Structure 1
Amino acid sequence: MHRVRTSLPFFEQHGWAAEVVTVDTLYTDMVQDELLLQSVPPAIKIHKVKAFDKRRSSKLGLGSIALRSLWYYRQYVNKLLSQQQFDLIYFSTTQFPVCVLGAYWKKKFKIPYVIDMQDPWHSEYYRDKPKSQQPPKYWFSYRLNKYMEPAAIKNANGLIAVSGQYITDLQNRYPSIKNVPTATITFGMFPPDLDIAVEHQREFKQLLNPDDINIVYVGRGGTDMHKAIKPVFDALAQGLKTDPAFFSRLKFYFIGTSYAPVGLGKPSILPLAESLGLTNQVIEVTDRISYYHSLAVLMQADALFIPGSDDAKYTASKIYPYLLTRKPLLAVFNPQSPAIGILKDFCIDTVYNYDNITPQNINDFLLALDSKSNLPISLSAEAVKTHLAQTKTQLQCELFNVAIKNDRP
């Protein structure tokens, strides 16, 4: 959603007029954030489709918004494409089952389509993991994705991905797409979002205690992040023994760690903290909060922490809003994660992989927060320009141009 949202103000200057088709919020059970509409140009036409009632469809195993809305997308867009001339369909969502409609519309209306891979679709990552670590309904989703992914990918006219490895994996899995135009394009920085968050920050629930030194992470949790988090927790536990007066003031917040409905999320970070005796220093809020509430919390924090997955392909799209706040930032990733290179481009010198981070690295970072008067960190101006949303939008449009050119007879 954020890819499209932050690109909408810039598509037209690169020769593309965009219309959006999305599920009406009446049919979703996700955290709502009406403020997001403030960043969408008022001239953009937004079409809304229905979805089956989750209370009924879940009894048939169809709880995801993608599956519940698939039939309605088909009916609505069929009518739309029959009445208007469009040059391209762009799927930019992690609700991947919707993408199978691309092949259907391409055959029915002779219109090319591009898929944006913000995450892996069909993945082997969880196959050898304990059931407790697998996503809900993994058995069903694994088999569904294994069937649906090739139907969508093999017929696509172009692929965009936040990680080059995602594209490589798809090309290896489906050799027939090796000549399809591709582009690795990370999410873009969108400074107006901070202005909106500041304007409305008084409307958000206060989650942090200003008397503490607060280090904040907002985003999904999971045991796949434990390898990145544990060195930091180990250093925190040791610090409580050697300098309890200072380290007891540190509070690590992990917010919005579960995709489960409000009140039903299971902590995935707190058990690790408890095993190390850090229950007083680590707060996990499994309920997700709205996007602008997240930004407000990041701006209220004394420092930010980004733990990466043990999956080498993982690229944390959240790094861009984190960077925009210019707060002191500690990041720990898989050694192969592309996020490390991105952060280093911005001249962030407190980004590590979990093979080279040391207790001294962590202590130096934490002790520097003692004054609670940290100046905004500096970011490379060249890197900021490279990673702005308008720059990323241009790259998307360049791929669109190639995709429709190659589709012409």
Structure 2
Amino acid sequence: MPRLLIVSPHFPPVNTPDMQRVRMSLPYFVDAGWEVVVLTVDDRQPLAPVEPDLLATVPRPVRVVRTGAFSRNWSRYLGMNNLGLRTLPHLYLRGRQLLKKEAFDLVYFSTTQFIVCVLGRVWHMEFDTPYVIDLQDPWLSDYYQQPGAPPPPGGWKYHFSHALAKHLERWTLRQCAHVVSVSGHYLLALRQRYRWFHEDSGSVLTFGAPDEDFAVAREKRTTAPALLPATASIKIAYAGRLGPDMRPALDVLFAAIARFKDAPRPFELFFFGTSYAPAGQGAASTTDLAARHGISHLVHEKTARIGYIDSLRIMLETDLALLLGSEDRAYSPSKVYPTLLASRPTLAVAPANSVLEAKIQELGGAALITFAPGAGGAADAAQNLSALLAGFAGNPGRPLGAPPQLAVLEQQYSAAAIARRQLEVFNRLIARSRTTPPPLPVAEYWPTLPPLQP
């Protein structure tokens, strides 16, 4: 039986985006006959929301090992709230104990706390255990160095983190057995940056659609109070980050919504969990833009993070689900797949040639409005969006865009499909191991993918 050690500092009941790939893959790893140990952090002061419902989605055979972290009561005086920095020595020691006492075929880092990935090379030097790194975001990002980009947030902390990433990424990836990434742009950047990083050094694995989680969300919806108010307006809802890279898409949306502000049944916008800042400390992303378009009374934003299951419930409750594209052409929005699975009328607003545009063109299931750079492109897009919204207002609830390609979603983007592709990577890497018999081909123990439950 192959043995896998997963390092994920965030893990249920704490809810963060960077642990969702691991959480959704675990049932399929177990079904495939893998013995899995998750090394995570027992953070008694989490910045992210705590969501006990997620614990029920972790298979019982998975052993979860929790280690400590330095308290924020003193680390905050050093300006150090980052969980990766606070837990690094604890993770190192606990991981070292596990690798010394037990034989693991592979170590898998799936996190955006990139500083902990250096432990892969440290442990590899001592135990010769291969390691894989999952890049859900770029470790070393050049977004704020691009022409026209806004100034980076965080002041000296950003410049320190950027300099640290520049050195640690190179050192860590040099001995990494394989890199999986949600975006091919990230792998291309690595190939351009390092001569020794080749095309076969990494694989593109997008986020998976949460096919099993919607059953939990639908059940909770029958017992919990509604998250959206019972108003006469047509509700458009969005749950997730709203960064400056999404502001152009937001501007197009608000310009179109403003044309209906005096309608008998206007459109009303609800944004949830738009900031990664601790509850009560996040800055609203929509206030000034809504005021400029004269629709402040129609725009409601809650910056505090919400539970993952609640974010799915919002998609089920809304009249019109919303997807926003990013100016960062490499950004791969994970919420595309759950939004399409919710089977609600969906609107996508994205820059031309963005990842979101490509995904909607491939998968359907949403009306797509794209815009070119510049004021002219945004004005044309707002005009097109206004026409689309006028048609929807006359017949709320009708599907928008091309029908969703559920077969493609099932075969390529479901949680089961993404887990299967991870296992194919893992199997290739451990095939030469001296301590483990050659693994069976994936098709032998998992011949067909389970069907999606839309």
In the alignment, which residue of structure 1 is the partner of 2:72?
A: 54
Whether the 8 Å contact between 1:121 and 1:149 is mirrored in structure 2 is yes
Residue of structure 2 equivalent to 1:307: 324
Q: Does 1:96 align with 2:114?
A: yes
Matched, 1:196 2:216: yes
- Cα deviation for residue 5 of structure 1 reads 0.7
Shift of 1:406: 6.5
Which amino acid counterpart does residue 187 of structure 2 have in structure 1?
I
User: CA distance change for structure 1 residues 264 and 53 in 2, over 3 Å: closer, same or farther?
Assistant: same
* Secondary structure, aligned partner of 1:214: strand
CA distance in 2 between counterparts of 1:370 and 1:280 reads 19
* Distance (whole Å) between structure 2 residues aligned to residue 48 and residue 210 of structure 1: 44
1:204·1:293 contact (CA, 8 Å) conserved in 2?
A: no
Deviation at 1:349, TM superposition (A): 5.0
Letter in 2 for 1:382: A
Aligned counterparts of 1:198 and 1:187: Cα–Cα separation in 2 = 21
One-letter code aligned to 1:168: L
- Structure 2 unaligned residues grouped into runs of 5+: 1-18, 436-454
2:426 corresponds to which of 387, 396, 400 = 400
Aligned with residue 391 of structure 1, among 417, 431, 454: 417
Give the TM-score normalised by the residue count of structure 2: 0.83
Q: CA RMSD in A?
A: 2.2
Moved more, 354-363 or 309-318: 354-363
Q: For structure 1, list consecutive stretches of 5 or more residues without a partner in the other structure.
A: none
1:69 Cα deviation after fit: 0.8
CA distance in 2, matches of 1:320, 1:181: 26
Question: Match for 2:160: what amino acid?
Answer: F
1:245 Cα deviation (Å)? Answer: 2.1
Superposed displacement of residue 180, structure 1:
4.9
Corresponding residue for residue 389 of structure 2: 366
Aligned pair in 2 of structure 1 residues 365, 130: CA closer, same or farther (>3 Å)?
Answer: closer
Q: Which residue type is aligned with residue 211 of structure 1?
A: A
Does the residue aligned with 1:280 lie in a helix, a strand or coil? helix
- Alpha-carbon distance change, 408 to 117 in structure 1, aligned in 2, over 3 angstroms: farther
1:177 corresponds to which letter in structure 2? F
Q: Which moved more, 1:359-368 or 1:187-196?
A: 359-368
| 2:297 equivalent to 1:280 | yes
Map Cα deviations across residues 294-346 of structure 1 (whole Å, 9 max, x no partner): 11112111011111110100110111111111111111223232232222222
Contact 1:216 1:252 survives alignment (8 Å) = yes
Moved more, 209-218 or 350-359: 350-359
2:340 matches 1:320: no
Instruction: Note the 1:28-47 alignment, pairs <5 A.
Output: 28-47=46-65
1:173 matched to 2:193? The reply is yes
1:237 alignment partner in structure 2: 258
Q: Structure 2: which amino acid aligns with 1:266?
A: A
Q: 1:183 to 1:396 in 2, by over 3 A?
A: same
Q: 2:172 pairs with 152, 160, 167, which one?
A: 152
Matched residue, 1:292? 309
1:259 aligns with 2:280: no
- 1:20 and 1:370 mapped to 2: Cα distance? 48
| Greater alpha carbon shift after TM alignment, 92-101 vs 139-148 | 139-148
Aligned residues, how many? 404
Counterpart contact for 2:347–2:368, Cα < 8 Å = yes
For 1:337, the equivalent position in structure 2 comes to: 354
| One-letter identity of the residue aligned with 1:170 | L
- The CA distance in 2 between the partners of 1:92 and 1:171, in whole Å, is 21
Corresponding residue to 1:226 among 219, 224, 247: 247
**Contact 2:150 / 2:244 at 8 angstroms: preserved in 1?**
no
| Kept after mapping to 2: 8 A contact 1:312/1:335 | no
- Superposed CA offset, 1:163-191 (max 9, x none): 00101101211221216532111111122
Instruction: Report the residue type matching 1:383 in the other structure.
Output: V
Residue by residue, what CA displacement relative to the aligned partner does 1:330-367 show, whole Å, maximum 9, x if unpaired? 11223232232222222235123222763453124323
Query: What's the TM-score once normalised by structure 1's chain length?
Result: 0.92
Contact 1:208-1:214 at 8 Å conserved across structures: no
1:379 and 2:423 correspond: no
Residue 211 of structure 1: aligned partner: 232
What's 1:134 paired with?
A: 153
- For 2:78 and 2:201, the matched residues in 1 are separated by 38
Cα distance, 1:98 vs structure 2: 0.8
Give the Å deviation of 1:274: 1.2
Q: Please say if residues 182 and 399 of structure 1, whose CA atoms lie closer than 8 Å, have aligned partners that are also in contact.
A: no
**Counterpart for residue 125 of structure 1:** 143
Change (3 A) 1:371 1:199: farther
Q: Does 1:16 align with 2:34?
A: yes
Query: Which amino acid in structure 2 is aligned with residue 47 of structure 1?
Result: V
Given that residues 213 and 372 in structure 1 are in contact (C-alpha distance below 8 angstroms), is that contact kept between their aligned partners in structure 2?
Answer: no
